[in-house]
Structure 1
Amino acid sequence: MTELPLLLLHAFPLDARMWDLVRAPLAERLRLITPDQRGLGRSPLPETDREPSLDDAARDVLALLDRLELDEVVLGGCSMGGYLALAVLKAAPERVAGLVLIDTKAMADTPEAAENRLKVAERAEAEGVQGWLADAILPNLLHNQEPAERVRELIDAQSPAGVAWAARAMRNRPDSLDVLRKSDVPALVVVGAEDKLTPVEEAGKMVDALDEATLVVLPGAGHLTPLEDPAGVVEAILGWFA
């Protein structure tokens, strides 16, 4: 597995810069790929009348693999990036040699969470994202507040249209536990001990659904462990690869 590239998909509503603190130490040992997802960071939002779906974002990832001439990768993601990784696994399991699931879950949204995502999408389209989105979600994103200003900068930099599309796509995603049960790939599951959004219990459900899974719980970290405990994330990933 050490010869396979690692492709990491970022969280919502951020972009690939969320991996900056883990990029260099991982890249010393692995071929690392960290794309922006559609509508976020530097990735454009395609014009389409289709209902937002992570299935379309999964096709973006597969198209990227085709352009890079990669038959398979170890596929990872944090939060929304994990949801997208599971969508890729469902669409093309032969392209996924392993999973790195960070602060994410396989369950669909509860009705309350789905309603909140719709409110985020509608407000982003009406008002943009600056001045309210970071304030609304930072308390749940971080336990360790040290990276709060950097996270705020990343949120404020996102396209309102991209944020709205991603929120709706996450709202529409199905339960993916069966995707994990049908998979036979090895997996690393990383979660912050203080994660409020995708807590340790949700990580445990994914581990239970997988045939071969390693669980790493990082103490003192919340939902964005690559920013709150980058050394812990790097150690977990490199140790698992080894």
Structure 2
Amino acid sequence: MTVQLYARDVGSGTPLVLLHAFPLSSAMWLNQREGLATRFRVITPDLRGFGGSVLGGDEPSIEEMADDVARLFRRLGITRAVVGGLSMGGYVAMAMCRRHPDLVMGVVLADTRASADTDEVRDGRVRQAERLETDGTVAVLVDEVLPDLVGPTTLRQRALVYGRVRGLVQATPPRAAAWAQRAMAARAESFETLRELKVPALVIVGSEDTLATEEDAHAMVDALPNAELLVIPRAGHLCAVEQPDLFNQAVAEFAAALARMTN
């Protein structure tokens, strides 16, 4: 089934497509839309089943999610863009590089991993998917996923940010979350994709991220032919939400440099 993604599209200039984390929606990119749309055309889709996008009946697959984004490019008349993804969005961004490299002029990989899941993580995803389908609520995500989404600094000092993230998790449709967990559990590693990448990459990681660690970030940088690494202090897994100014500055400099290279 062909799914037409809902997307927010603001600003003008070089297109910057940002793909959201699990189990959130494009609402997580609020600070990016506000902070980057003065310089770039910022497009933030809801991946299938999340936010304003329907789920469809396809088998769970990160590749399918990347194809959805490629169709969005064509619908919006975008020939090439800087593609950024955080966490699950990073998996989709790497699948875009693999399946639709002609659409990608540069890639931002934030708080994500090129490795496949360990058996333990994969089993946990499948168990959560089953709970989501059985319960019909996202209680398992609030209990088990939410605590690791932000770092201890955010928990201590940024109550409003944590509250916002909690609200986004609670708003997630259970069926979409289950589908996405199964898609992530089934994904293969992406190191070969990174080694063959022909465009520049920016790898970003929160210094307090325990889900996608600095070690994971270094492994991606080592595989990439042309990459720079930024470690954002006092941020956990959602560095773009926890430290938006630092994230936006890095992405703006990276995208602006790419725009100069391609003009």
* TM-score, L = length of structure 2: 0.88
Structure 2's unaligned 5+ residue stretches are 1-11, 257-263
Identity %, equivalent residues: 47
| SS at structure 1 position matched to 2:55 | coil
User: Which residue, 61, 68, 84 being the options, matches 1:60?
Assistant: 68
Partner of 1:188: 202
Determine which of 41, 47, 50 is the counterpart of 1:37: 47
AA at the equivalent of 1:95: L
Tell me the alpha carbon deviations over residues 41-70 of structure 1, each in whole angstroms, 9 at most, x when there is no partner: 11000123xx31111111100100010111
C-alpha contact (below 8 Å) 1:72/1:96 kept by paired residues = yes
- Offset of residue 3 of structure 1: 4.8
Equivalent residue runs for 1:164-203 within 5 Å: 164-203=178-217
Do 1:65 and 1:71's aligned partners in 2 also have CA atoms closer than 8 Å? yes
**Distance in structure 1 (CA, Å) of the matches to 2:18 and 2:100:** 17
2:78 to 30, 45, 70: 70
CA contact (8 A) 2:138 2:170 kept: yes
Aligned pairs (5 A) from 1:122-161: 122-143=130-151, 144-145=154-155, 146=158, 147-161=161-175
Q: Give the match for residue 246 of structure 2.
A: 232
**Letter paired with 1:79:** S
Q: Report if aligned partners of 1:138, 1:148 keep a CA contact under 8 Å in 2.
A: no
Alignment length, in residue pairs? 239
Deviation at 1:130, TM superposition (A): 3.6
> Residue type of the partner of 1:35?
P
Offset at 1:102? 0.7
Q: Give 2:194's aligned amino acid.
A: L
- Once residues 72 and 211 of structure 2 are traced to their aligned partners in structure 1, the CA distance between those partners, rounded to angstroms, is 29
Q: Shift of residue 128 of structure 1?
A: 2.5
1:130–1:166: structure 2 CA closer, same or farther, 3 Å change rule? closer
What is the one-letter code of the residue matched to 2:205? V
1, 9, 23: which one aligns with 1:13: 23
TM-score (norm 1): 0.95
Query: What per-residue deviation string (whole Å, max 9, x for no partner) do you get for residues 122-167 of structure 1?
Result: 0111112343422211221111122221111111111111000000
Q: Distance in 1 between matches of 2:100 and 2:144?
A: 35
Structure 1 segments unaligned to the other structure (5+ residues): none
Q: CA RMSD in A?
A: 1.3
Asked if the contact 2:132–2:140 (Cα under 8 Å) also holds between the matched residues in 1, the reply is no
Partner of 1:85: 93
1:26 correspondence with 2:36 = yes
Deviation at 1:239, TM superposition (A): 2.0
2-11 vs 36-45, which deviates more?
Answer: 2-11
Residue 109 of structure 1: aligned partner: 117
